[in-house]
Amino acid sequence: MKIGEAARRTGVAAHVLRHWHASGVVVPDRTASGHREYTEEHLRRAHVVRACQGVGMSLPEIRAVLTRDDASRAEVIGARLLRIRAQRAGLEAAERFLEHVIGCTHDLLTRCEACTEYARTSPHAATGGAPAGRPAADGA
């Protein structure tokens, strides 16, 4: 099938498929006239690429993961699992903090040891209170 149909069936734009081709993660066949020709296998591969992107993998990481005999495959997957586990732990800590704040009886959160302990130990404490890439809000 042509790139337009492949784009429609995978839910990504044609320019994304061209980029994936250039990056080596989904490399379609070529017709005699040089047009990209996608097969069902290419579509399955595109869906796997989208799933990998959904868990935060970059195209170079995905390229390593897609090939079972790539030497860095296990390392890439292991590193991604560690990041996911760290994110999960951070989200669980944030959830515990917010659940505490809902019932906190202190007139100011800064007077609550549990609230300030979370603030001291949260990953955002080292960035001035804002997640990486976001400015700290004034008056917080």
Tell me whether residue 91 is in a domain. Answer: yes
Residue-number span of the structural domain to which 99 is assigned: 73-126
Q: Report how many domains make up the chain.
A: 2
pLDDT at 137: 43
Are 83 and 118 in a shared domain? yes
Pairwise CA distance, residues 18 & 13, whole Å: 9
Pairwise CA distance, residues 114 & 83, whole Å: 26
Degrees (nearest 5) of the Cα angle 10, 5, 26? Answer: 50
Are 9 and 61 in a shared domain? yes
**Torsion (CA) 53, 57, 61, 63 in degrees, nearest 10:** -10
Sign of the torsion formed by the C-alpha atoms of 22, 25, 26 and 30: positive
Tell me whether residue 79 is in a domain. Answer: yes
Helix (H, G, I), strand (E, B) or coil at 29: strand
Are 55 and 99 in a shared domain? no
| 8-state DSSP, 104 | -
Pairwise CA distance, residues 25 & 46, whole Å: 8
> End of a domain among 66, 97, 114?
66
**Stretch among 49-53, 79-83, 100-104, 107-111 having the lowest mean pLDDT:** 107-111
| pTM higher than 0.75 | no
* Nearest of 57, 72, 68 to residue 23 by alpha carbon: 57
Tell me whether residue 135 is in a domain. Answer: no
CATH of the domain at 31: 1.10.1660.10
The predicted-structure confidence for 106-125, as pLDDT tens digits, reads as follows 888 778 888 888 877 776 66
The predicted-structure confidence for 54-98, as pLDDT tens digits, reads as follows 999 999 999 999 988 888 899 999 999 999 999 999 999 889 888
Tell me whether residue 8 is in a domain. Answer: yes
Q: Which two tokens stand for residue 66?
A: 């897609």
